[in-house]
A and B are shown apart, each in its own frame.
Chain A
Amino acid sequence: NAGVTQTPKFQVLKTGQSMTLQCAQDMNHNSMYWYRQDPGMGLRLIYYSASEGTTDKGEVPNGYNVSRLNKREFSLRLESAAPSQTSVYFCASTRGLTDTQYFGPGTRLTVL
């Protein structure tokens, strides 16, 4: 039982490049979330998916898109990366909306 996994662990992009961050969970959780972590700002929600087939914006969705590919996988896409998107990205999942969220190991993204 690997929990929540994320790939890649590290990535360096140039401004304007695109990329997709992958997240998968093997706990049969219904809800999945994408956060970004910036120094002094805690974690901020980018997008979430309450259940398979649904996605909703969080606090900071601009510049990102998501896909809930199936119950296990929830990807985050940067279409045209900007230096302001340099951050650590965490994926999380939870069985139900009122349950504890479990976090993945994070992806450290640098946009030059």
Chain B
Amino acid sequence: AQSVSQHNHHVILSEAASLELGCNYSYGGTVNLFWYVQYPGQHLQLLLKYFSGDPLVKGIKGFEAEFIKSKFSFNLRKPSVQWSDTAEYFCAVKEGNTGKLIFGQGTTLQVKP
């Protein structure tokens, strides 16, 4: 079965610091990859996704992620975080043709003003 691993469980940064959140998955076939964000008290929202093509994907709010097939990774980056980026971030892999999403454990990001 597929699994998704997010290396950082809790990250604390100051505003304007750069962010990189790690995500690795176990599936060796064709994958669809996602990053979702959950702001405090809100539901999950899609940040960005990779289905095919350019492995560097740009999402909303200045986030981007790079798909590195050889490393089974899909790390999330942002050059300069803001206080409003405080949230929980989830990496997810869509499994084959079932449409099922396999989520990582989540990373809580706290940005200090």
List chain A positions with a Cβ less than 8 A from chain B: 31, 33, 35, 40-45, 48, 50, 56, 58, 90, 92, 94, 96-98, 100-106
Contact = CB atoms under 8 A, between A and B. Distances in A.
Given A33-B100, A97-B98, 16 more contacts: A33-B101, A40-B105, A42-B6, A42-B103, A42-B106, A43-B44, A43-B90, A43-B101, A44-B103, A48-B99, A48-B100, A58-B100, A98-B32, A101-B99, A102-B46, A104-B43
Contacts of A96: 99
A34 to B, nearest CB: 11
Contacts, number: 60
Output the residue of A41, A58, A97 with the most chain B CB within 10 A.
Answer: A97
| Contact count band on B | 20 to 34
A97 B43 contact: no
Interface of B: 4, 6, 9, 32, 34, 36, 42-46, 49, 51, 90, 92, 94, 97-106
A10 to B, nearest CB: 12
A97 B103 contact: no
A42 B104 contact: yes
A105 B97 CA distance: 26
Contacts of B103: 35, 42-44
Contact of A100 (B42, B46, B90, B97): B46
Contacts of A40: 9, 105-106
A98 B94 contact: yes
